[in-house]
Structure 1
């Protein structure tokens, strides 16, 4: 029976009757002679003793969590300085958001917490977390949180327990910021999710001088602080937000999609405000001083205390640093430019680099290219001779008037599998236009956009870049048009068949 109970560790939950049946099967396979089993009531009493604390017939998630715990005593690695040890993780947020065109979907929350102060240094909401989002989380952790319109003046760093005047003399960026500590990570513990073990996230940590420490597989206890923090976000923040779905389906309400829901940017703004107003000022039970064990400190108070012994070193990021954190790929620069997923980007600055060896023998002479998965309007090519980045725009940028990412482009490629680059660009623009216009009357638009098209467009606009797309250079006029003087165009009036033709105007 112990063997039958152990087999349920990773299996689906079953009843006691199945465990007893499995026990009989194990006995039949192991014993050459028949074994006389006790009564059914005795087997049930035996199961109650052997299965105590295992959740063999209870929640499968609880059972897996119990089996993942170490068998002996365990603790956590201590951290005595801000940024010395941090943890990062991603989880679905139990809140529905209203994307464009009325699409209601869940979003994913990616957050990073400091072990020494329990501060949430950054939290990002995305429809689907990508490696670029994890890299952006690193940038937000070392960047001060600026005050936003509508926030209370009490959220300013100058009105908090943080030593604002002393920090301002070191870092000028802290003049008009909110009360959120700026922490530079030294070591980050993550799981084996494809976002955190990706080459882009590893390269971003390497560029910022951060040591990345993956946890053991299927061992959430290696990063228990971030696991508990994400659970606290659900209980302290998510359940108070309109559109809360609950952690499981049996806790979910009815017709949540028809209610009033926040958009993704609005929910992100609420989450950032909650982190500063509530989380950073809330006393944490894990922040106690040995000299005052009865008092629990808040993350901001603990940060101000540790700052006296650890100091503060600003780490400002420039525009080139943000480009460094984007996903990279290695390609050759041909005569027509650079082609990525049937998109061609070109610039006159690439002329000296066309069909030339980059000097990187490990990459077979290819060029290092960084791209933004949420904005395909441009890419960046590293020029190692001049130690700079070259911004290269998409050749058909003028065909689409709104920014969009690879999600909409891939959907357009599916709709036009054998089309040219111009046709795919037009299909992507039409996809965003149809989804933005919404459902129309049957006589005007008989073909209504599919739900997948509207979901792709809604996610695209939810993750669109905040910066405007620069206009591509205008094409020079042809010679025959430049030498011709255009006459004034006089429009004709509308013909009215019921009007009197002899009446003067």
Structure 2
């Protein structure tokens, strides 16, 4: 579906890299380890994930790798400009490979665009003549070449007519010295009693004379000054009220390659219902959907994402980020993992914290060359295919009604159900004839808890021998996915550099919000930081969004967002009450808290939000310590990976000697819970679930 271009730089034996501010030479590649030699002759072995996650890491002498595409910007262009860019895309593809749909698409190659008969320059000239005849204007071969190179470098964004995406300057053609003087005058008047706009004119002229000398800057007209003041003033600085009103919300048969010789050469992606019941957000028990990406050459599971309902484009984007970004490079990764580990789940962990951190960091990470998907709309959506095309990933849809085209990923689903799901409470079996009579009663995990267990199990999976993996020199010995990865890396002789933590943020879901005087408001949550001061009440430089700013967010943790400021980088903006609520939560829990406070005072937004944050923290503390009701336990079980202790009822907590309630006369409030030590909220390990022991199973392997 898409041609591979913009190849990422690769770390090879003999290459020079910059790591920790020092120039190193790569002398060996051994599995997930890269052996380096420094300028002083000292050597060091570094995990690929930690090497690539270093902020100053570069491959010396290699081209700068392409970042993830800013797909949200393409959607802001006018519809006519987007249609013309898509038309240019078809013409550019035909010039490059002979087919408008790209390599592998259906159709016949027209003679004038046959790469085997004509050079690239001849095909460009033929396309220029064709476009001129079609009414594109006078198109030259140079124009076709320029559009083709822009498409290689920037994707669809490079094919747009950027005159339609430019935002006019709010100050027009006014002298920058005058604009600076107006800003200074507004700053001096800030915090003082409000005067008239005309009262600022003498102050502006005085600032111009003091800075540049009398008569150096021509005096602007009163109309120009009035326009500049009303444009640059913040809301509430003028006597007439806010100058700029922030806009309201806008809104054949199957064919599978016999072999793959390199890690990442082909990745198979698919979605299925997991054979285990989980507690959904609406309180019902059902089987969640699992989407995984499996490397054909090594059988490594590069990414696995669980969601309660049908897989959406958000989950597809997260899957791409999981495949291509090392764990240590992801924002707040170690802190989140330790947070999830602090309260133990109701069973014995498969691995200690430090072991899991090291195992997760060493999990294979690769930027795929080809992704084989079914024809689900989330995997053939414009956003997903455009991101893959810009990153040089070829997307290959499987033939219709041919499940064997993705036989490896389908078999991996069977492995997960057999080795993971069947050991969990709530396991449903592969059909109704194998389902137990009390499956619904046994189910106790939320989707988030199952995701946590699955991530931990995958660390062990990559050390389990796989019968389908054989080394050419040892055909009778089954290799583990990690061993096969190491063998193929040694044969390939290079390790492609994956994406960075910044690219991980680019692949997160996007929404558009205004920056108000109090910050960014989303569902009665305020996100604010000092660096937003110059942009409060100001429109974004992106045309076509009504002045709103591009916001990226993690749907599983809404305690912070990332905003794209004019410098082009995504900057983290925390929730103002993030330090008060110490556990990740999703919007479902927040909306529940809001329904409980529906009769509160909404006029004072700050006190209302602070009350909601305090209610959320109290709810999590009640659930953690066992003081919550059954409804509250079910709510937090659906929204967090924290353990859910049994609720304590006063009538059950009796003194065995007197028969009286042990809580009689005591305060039932939880205000004293602030003194509890961190990590002391774990309940006693529950038993009786029949979970397997990882070490015992490893002995049987």
TM over 0.5: yes
- Alignment partner for residue 532 of structure 2, among 350, 358, 363? 350
Specify the SS of the correspondent of 1:321.
Answer: helix
Q: Are 2:407 and 1:227 equivalent residues in the alignment?
A: no
How many residues of Structure 1 are paired with residues of Structure 2 in the alignment? 367
After superposition, the C-alpha distances for 1:180-207 in whole angstroms (9 at most, x for unaligned) are: 4333322223345565466775676567
Contact 1:187 1:211 in 2 (8 A): yes
Partner of 1:88: 269
Equivalent residues in 2 for 1:145-160, closer than 5 Å = none
Structure 1 residues 461, 432: closer, same or farther in 2, change over 3 A?
farther
Tell me what 2:428 maps to.
245
Give me the TM-score of the superposition, normalised by structure 2. 0.43
Task: Report the equivalent of 1:338.
Answer: 520
Match of 1:17 in 2: none
2:254 maps to: 74
Unaligned runs of 5+ in 2: 1-251, 329-333, 342-348, 644-701
Does the CA-based 8 Å contact 2:448-2:638 persist in structure 1? no
1:49-198 residue pairs with structure 2 within 5 A?
A: 73-77=253-257, 79-96=260-277, 106-127=287-308, 133-142=315-324, 180-191=363-374, 193=376, 196=379
Match of 1:284, SS state, is strand
* CA-CA distance at 1:330 after TM superposition: 2.5
Question: Is 1:459 matched with 2:641?
Answer: no
Distance 1:130 1:429 in 2: 32
Tell me, what secondary structure is at the counterpart of 2:495?
coil
Counterpart check, 1:409 vs 2:590? yes
CA distance in 1, matches of 2:378, 2:595: 25
**1:157-199: CA deviation from partner (whole Å, max 9, x where unpaired):** 9xxxxxxxxxxxxxxx9x8877643333222233455654667
Using the TM superposition, give the Cα deviation of residue 113 of structure 1 relative to its aligned residue in structure 2, in angstroms. Answer: 0.2
Instruction: Indicate if the aligned counterparts of 2:374 and 2:398 stay in contact, CA closer than 8 A.
Output: yes
Distance 2:625 2:520 in 1: 39
The CA distance in 1 between the partners of 2:361 and 2:534, in whole Å, is 46
Describe the SS at the equivalent of 1:322: helix
C-alpha distance after superposition, 1:249-287 (max 9, x if no partner): 4422133455596777775565445444445532333x4
In 1, the alpha carbon distance for the partners of 2:608 and 2:401 equals 46
Equivalent pair of 2:426/2:441 in contact (CA under 8 Å): no
CA contact (8 A) 1:333 1:367 kept: yes
Contact persistence 2:449–2:641 (CA under 8 A): no
CA 1:106/1:369 → structure 2, altered by over 3 Å: closer, same or farther? same
The 1:298/1:439 distance shift into structure 2, 3 A limit, reads closer
Q: 2:372, 2:502 → 1: CA distance?
A: 26
1:349-402 deviations in Å (ceiling 9; x for gaps): 2222234443333545532111122222222111133x4333323345577564
Deviation at 1:127, TM superposition (A): 4.6
3-state DSSP of counterpart to 1:94? coil
1:423-462 matches, within 5 Å, as: 423=608, 426=611, 430=615, 433-434=618-619, 437=622, 450=631, 454-462=633-641
Preserved CA contact (<8 Å) 1:375 1:404: yes
**After superposition, where does 1:25-44 map in structure 2 within 5 Å?**
none
Structure 2 counterpart SS, 1:89 = strand
Contact 2:359–2:459, Cα closer than 8 Å, also in 1: no
> Normalising by the residue count of structure 1, what TM-score does the alignment of the two structures yield?
0.57
Q: 2:551 aligns with which of 351, 369, 379?
A: 369
**What do you get for the CA RMSD once the two structures are aligned?**
4.9
Change (3 A) 1:180 1:378: closer
